Amino acid sequence: MTKTVTDVICPFCGTLCDDLEVVVSDDGKELFEVYNACAIGAEKFLHSQAKDRITRPRMRQEDGSWKEISYDEAIEYTARMLADAKKPLMYGWSSTNCEAQAVGSEIGEAVGAVMDNTATVCHGTSLIAVQDIGIPSCTLGEVKNRADRILFWGCNPAHAHPRHMSRYSIFPRGFFTGKGHAGRKMIVVDPRPTDTASLADIHLQIEQGHDYELLDALRVAFKGEQLPDFVGGIPKAKIYEVAETLKSGRFAIIFFGMGVTQSIGKNHNIDAAIAVTRDLNEYTKAAIMPMRGHYNVTGSGQVWGWLFGFPYAVDLSRGFARYNPGETTSNDLLRRDEVDAVFVLGSDPGAHFPFSSVKKIYNLPSVAIDPHETPTTEVCKVHVPVAFVGVEVGGCAYRMDNVPIETRKVVEAPEGMMTDEEFLSRVLARVKEIKGV
């Protein structure tokens, strides 16, 4: 027999959908079906059921093969590696719960690590801009109920956040948005004709790398000042039209993604987009929100925000928190040989970092904590498989709009597997023993 668990949270993308239904066996040991999730979300749940799943830690041997080791041995290796290093990098933290992030932070403090999360290759630049000029933001609920001008800048939710448009931004009928899609004007800024852009009322097909200039042009247009004939390939008449469209709405929201956060200008692009939002508030209500990728990268920024005062790239090596992206960011540290050990949890730098950085990880003492086999586990010395957060263990996660949502356990992890939090707590205890504190 089976049972259906309702109101399940999807631990995949920053949309953190909370309406999934999951069919599991009566004893809670097997998971059969996932309803309401998009394809990538459902896949995450079904993955936990893979028959060839790795359930015990492994250590790389001289000849490159893996040897199974116990959790105790993995804990010992990890604690020794971190305690011996002068400046270890503890990276990832975006696909795990806040409880594990908090224990990891304690380890980081004890060993003088640099703590960095996936924002470093994603929305970290947005966080720099927020620190520089602040951010007028809102929740996705407000977007659903109020927003009638939706601007997607350098992001493609149709593929990266598949249910974002149907649940919050474009299609739903909310309290003041009873007409749903028909009552909203959708603008997309993207050099490519994406599936998201194909739904837009206005698609500004900007020349690659001119986002900063176009954002500045919008600000000039709001003020009614003169513009050059073209900005980033967009004719000025079109820019004035978009400025008018945004001003004439009752509630405008700008969503932005890696097309602007990781292209030339980086934090400056977001800085200018926030300035556009601020300007719009002179005429109507406007807000702006980053399309955060991993389901709990926002949470790791929150946890470090309240523990250390900074949301990513936190250097604890001197016993106090320092933060300077460009220096304390993972790729800069690896590129410049500033760290002497690498610990990865809840991310896959092997797949997302430049090859030169991955090579550096390969050459250093390194541990990867991940339920899956990934390109990262391939280059690390020890791989510790753990239970899937949000599937096999619950815990807190923050949605892209900074709303905390408690994820749920729906199925048992394979016999004898540890969770992130359990593993980290054991490493912390061992680190304290080694350091004699």
Partner 1 sequence: METVTLTIKNQPELYLEADNITPDAFAGKKAEEIAALHVYIGREQHQLGDFFEVSGGAGATPEETKVVVNGDLSRVKYIGMKMTGGEVVVNSNADMYVGAWMQGGKITVNGNVDAFAGTGMKGGEIVVNGNAGNYLGAAYRGDWRGMADGKITVAGNAGSDLGTFMNGGEIVIGGDVDVHVATHAEGGKIVIKGNAKSRLGGQMVGGEIYVLGNIDVMMPGFAYREDVDIEMDGIKGRFALYEGDLGERHRKRKGQLIYAKLYQQIGA
User: Of 255 and 310, which has the nearer Cβ to partner 1?
Assistant: 310
Of residues 24, 31, 41, 232, which one binds ligand SF4 by CB under 6 A? 41
User: Of 232 and 299, which has the nearer Cβ to ligand SF4?
Assistant: 299
Per-residue binder mask for partner 1 (CB under 8 A), 69-108, x = binder: ----------------xxx---------------------
Of residues 52, 62, 226, 436, which one binds partner 1 by CB under 8 A? 226
Residue 354 · residue 331 · CB < 8 Å: yes
Residue 265 binding: pick among partner 1, ligand SF4, none (C-beta 5-8 Å cut-off by kind): partner 1
162 binds ligand SF4 (CB under 6 A): yes
Is the torsion defined by CA of 194, 199, 205, 211 positive or negative?
negative
CA dist 44 → 264, 372, 391, 409 (Å): 33, 11, 9, 14
Q: Give first-to-last CA distance, the chain, whole Å.
A: 51
Of residues 58, 146, 161, 294, which one binds ligand SF4 by CB under 6 A? 161
293 binds ligand SF4 (CB under 6 A): no
Question: Cβ neighbours of residue 211 under 8 Å, at least 6 residues apart?
Answer: 153, 154, 189, 232, 259, 260, 263, 265, 269, 272
Residue 10 binding: pick among ligand SF4, partner 1, none (C-beta 5-8 Å cut-off by kind): ligand SF4
Taking the complex as a whole, the smallest distance from the CB of residue 161 to ligand SF4 amounts, in Å, to 5
37 binds ligand SF4 (CB under 6 A): yes
**What is the total count of residues that contact partner 1 (CB under 8 A)?**
44
Taking the complex as a whole, the smallest distance from the CB of residue 5 to ligand SF4 amounts, in Å, to 15
Residue 425 · residue 105 · CB < 8 Å: no
Taking the complex as a whole, the smallest distance from the CB of residue 22 to partner 1 amounts, in Å, to 42
Of residues 228, 233, 235, 354, which one binds partner 1 by CB under 8 A? 228
Taking the complex as a whole, the smallest distance from the CB of residue 345 to partner 1 amounts, in Å, to 20
Question: Cβ neighbours of residue 148 under 8 Å, at least 6 residues apart?
Answer: 177, 183, 184, 185, 249, 250, 251, 252
323 SS3 class: strand
For residue 263, the tally of other CB atoms under 10 A from its CB is: 17
**What is the total count of residues that contact ligand SF4 (CB under 6 A)?**
13
Residue 142 token pair: 């407000």
- CA distance linking residue 238 with residue 98, whole number of Å: 44
In the complex, which residues of this chain contact ligand SF4 (CB under 6 A)? Answer: 10, 12-13, 15-17, 37-38, 40-41, 161-163
